[in-house]
Amino acid sequence: MRYLPLAFDLKNRPCLIVGGGSIATRKARLLNKAEARLLVVAPDITDELRQLVLASGGEYIVGRYRRDLLENVEMVVAATADSDVNAQVSSDARAQRLPVNVVDSPQLCTFTFPSIVERGPLAIGISSGGSAPVLTRMLRAQIETLLSPGLGVIAELAGLVRDRVKAALPEAQRKDFWHWVFNGPIVGEVERGHKAEAEQALLQELERWQERPAPSGEVYLVGGGPGDPDLLTFRALRLMQQADVVLYDRLVSSEVLELVRRDAERIYVGKMKQFHSVPQDDINQLLVDLAKEGKKVLRLKGGDPFVFGRGGEEMDKLAEAGVPFQVVPGITAAIGCSAYAGIPLTHRDHAQSVRFITGHLKQGDLVLPWQELITANQTLVFYMGLAGLPTISEKLIAHGMNVDTPAALVEKGTTRDQRVIVGTIATLPELAETHKVGAPALTIIGGVVTLRESLGWYQ
């Protein structure tokens, strides 16, 4: 994101438009909606632009652009047919650190005008930074069809009573109250044109909420999947938007984390090899403490909370402390990464069972029932096994696995940076070193790996 979307308060503030044609007029319409005071300089201007200038209490200067016109203005728009003039306006405005927009020249802009969906005080801006204006207009048209015309009235109503709600309810309760307002019967009253009745109903409901006991906290144990945000469940996304605070680990992708509510507090509790930023016991206690403060706490985990994610330990602590919680399964790494790598975990010709195994070394050793892992027609999937890959290879071969058994490493599976390294159980450790494979990486062993060449679809 190169351009940061911002909302400017331009009421009665002077804004300079250089140019007087149809494009300048379109920009003036937007500024006029924001109640800006228009200063326009051009040899000639359209009739509509002249009326917009008069309506804003601004001024029309007949002539050519001069640098001194930038004095005492707060925003500049260059919309002439002369590229040299537009470039000069941009240079002069930048020198004075004024926000400047040059129509159809994103390289000369410090801000761009988004496509806007407007419902009263509610405004939704869609911007591509000037790179794809037709696309932004298409998206605007789609959003227009989804939003009720009554949303503007609802937003105005919320603005009228906002201070009263803030004074009457604590922060945690306010969020739930507004969620009820925007999803309850009051919306129906507004859409039927009963604004006064809707306001009265809102205030009556506010009185009832004041009599309620203080809200209790709750914990959401949510699986964030292996990385691709498209793999989140609807329920996971809904709870991610409701949480007041989020505790997340290293395996949660940045794209998934971006979908958490913007104003939620974020606490990193991830673990790395030979380094735990927060011990597990402290994480468990932190979940309890935050919930008892009345907060909605999101424990966001990569993959699934109950597959090598210590969700069970955290749930035990919450249950013991009497803290309410919900669990939302996620697509575990073995399922997601194997699918994106084109390696089915089971297949009638290759494997009738699959085992998920932790490859995490504990005190330098890896204790597993190695003989059970040599079973024919079985797929083995090792989580967190990159550091222990030489040991895994050595032990499996020592207990009878054929050295030519197909094996694969899936690095950063389901993401745009996914890599799949294919070899055998004997060659995989050396391949991992040669290709400098880094965590997170999943190891898949078994005949199903041979299907990768024909079934690989993601890349």
- Binding-site residues: 22-23, 43-44, 226, 302-304, 307, 332-333, 384, 413
First to last CA, the chain: 24
**Binding-site residue ranges for NAD(+):** 22-23, 43-44
Task: Determine whether 163 is an active site residue.
Answer: no
Structure token digits, residue 430: 């050396």
**How far is residue 266 from each of residues 32, 225, 231, 262, measured CA to CA in Å?**
39, 18, 22, 10
What CA–CA distance (Å, rounded) separates 81 from 65?
Answer: 13
What CA–CA distance (Å, rounded) separates 10 from 159?
Answer: 19
Q: Which of 82, 176, 195, 271 is catalytic?
A: 271
Q: Which of 72, 7, 66 is nearest to 37 (CA)?
A: 72
Q: What is the 3-state secondary structure (H, E, C) of 91-114?
A: HHHHHCCCCEEECCCHHHCCCCCC
**Binding-site residue ranges for S-adenosyl-L-methionine:** 226, 302-304, 307, 332-333, 384, 413
CB 414 within 8 A of CB 385: no
DSSP per-residue letters across 34-82: TTPEEEEEES---HHHHHHHHHHT-EEEES---GGGGTT-SEEEE--S-
What CA–CA distance (Å, rounded) separates 263 from 260?
Answer: 9
Q: Which of 92, 244, 249, 295 is catalytic?
A: 249
Structure token digits, residue 337: 């990464």
| Bridge partners (DSSP) listed for residue 102 | 78
Task: Determine whether 271 is an active site residue.
Answer: yes
User: Could you list the active site residues?
Assistant: 249, 271
